[in-house]
Copies of this chain bind each other. A is one copy, B any other.
């Protein structure tokens, strides 16, 4: 089996992301603790995010707007003092958060790149913010192409692997989301390497396609080069 191209998810595959969202969510629950229990705030935020997903898409700016909307609803439309300003500040901090590759990422990507595979970053989220994170990560030079997309479905993977590689059948997609990275890449005819991150956004949860001939689950990204070589 010939593999020419490796697609890589960014958030929670190359660097932390969900942890930063969870920390902001914790801060929101504290800010609203005079109005609602932590559980109620969590549930309301999830409801607001889901309702807005079609309009806002993925990323920090939409999340910040959803945090503000949650605060307005849970305070009966009368948020105290600096609450809204604090949420705005939390959102800006998320956008300025330093980016550090997860353990083993530099080495695994360098190994794949040196072995001649074409690396493509394929990620959702705010266009500008993802570009800024890639630049801050120092990993940019390892990628032959960067595709920031609004939705990761089978057509997306087929199109990206056609344009930048030699088609999905000769491509591996590696990432931490079964729902966004693995299942649609398999559906497009590609290979999938699932590398779980300790926490997953509820919206991204799905069942693993156990026994699928082009699927594997890896404990860490350091195992990716070996698995890719084993396909040859």
A residues contacting B by CB (< 8 A) are: 52, 55-59, 61-62, 64-65, 68-69, 72, 77-79, 81-82, 84-85, 88, 91-92, 95-96, 126-129, 131, 148-150
Contacts and interface: CB of A to CB of B under 8 A. Distances in A.
Contacts of A128: 56-58, 150
Chain A residues touching B, majority SS: helix
Contact of A88 (B69, B79, B127): B69
Given A65-B65, A79-B84, A127-B150, 13 more contacts: A52-B92, A56-B95, A56-B128, A57-B127, A59-B61, A68-B68, A68-B84, A72-B85, A77-B82, A77-B85, A78-B81, A79-B79, A127-B148
A131 to B, nearest CB: 5
A81 B57 CA distance: 28
A60 to B, nearest CB: 9
B56 A72 contact: no
Counting from the closest, the 5 A-B pairs by CB-CB distance are A57-B128, A61-B61, A128-B150, A55-B95, A127-B127
A61 B68 contact: no
A77, A81, A91, A131, most chain B CB atoms within 10 A: A77
Given A65-B65, A150-B127, A81 B77 contact: yes
Copies in the complex: 2
A88 B72 contact: yes
A107 to B, nearest CB: 29
Contacts of A84: 68, 72, 79, 84
A127 B151 CA distance: 10
A61 B72 contact: no
Nearest to A55: B95
11 contacts: A52-B92, A55-B92, A55-B95, A55-B96, A57-B128, A68-B84, A69-B85, A126-B126, A127-B149, A127-B150, A128-B150
A194 B82 CA distance: 45
